[in-house]
Structure 1
């Protein structure tokens, strides 16, 4: 085998290896891609943050969420939020109560679009 033939083979194998690595990387990136689906809305609210927090916790529990995280770091500004993780589905819901602005915000996030939207609609219809 001549040195020219070896160089040509090395170039071919190097090009093939690079193409294989890039192709595999592209395929792996595409198949491993996770897309969280997020639905958010806000509503007018005229109650206190305490009432909102109590009722939001009950609504989350009624829909199989474990309201485990209450954020009161902005309570002096009359803003609180509660986060719940669903007991059976890969979902998280958060309800924020902002008495100062007179609004409450609902957000639901999950990996399955249909299930995420289903629970978003359920929580959207609920009152807190």
Structure 2
């Protein structure tokens, strides 16, 4: 059941991107974990900026593809603590964000109001 509107999802996208960029500094992570989290956070902001929904500047990526990228992001967040040896006590925020991304992927609507796809008139 897809109950989350794309407008709300867009707000969460930008907030999560910023949070993931800030997370290694808050958790005092260095090296690989820091770099990976900054890259993942920046990627979320970038593909959100390019998605065909209400809070985008360049409406290029379809919502369904965006949700696929969110799923990849969520899985990446879930496996990154293992891959990059994040201390066990500092893993839970990373897991939480990864799980949240996967849940949002499953419950976000797949059509946004006023998108490029719906604004086109059929001739």
Instruction: Give 1 or 2: higher helix fraction.
Output: 2
Give TM-score, length-normalised by structure 2. 0.33
| Bigger Rg over Cα | 1
Report which structure shows greater RCO (CA 8 Å, sep ≥6). 2
Instruction: Give 1 or 2: higher strand fraction.
Output: 1
Give TM-score, length-normalised by structure 1. 0.32
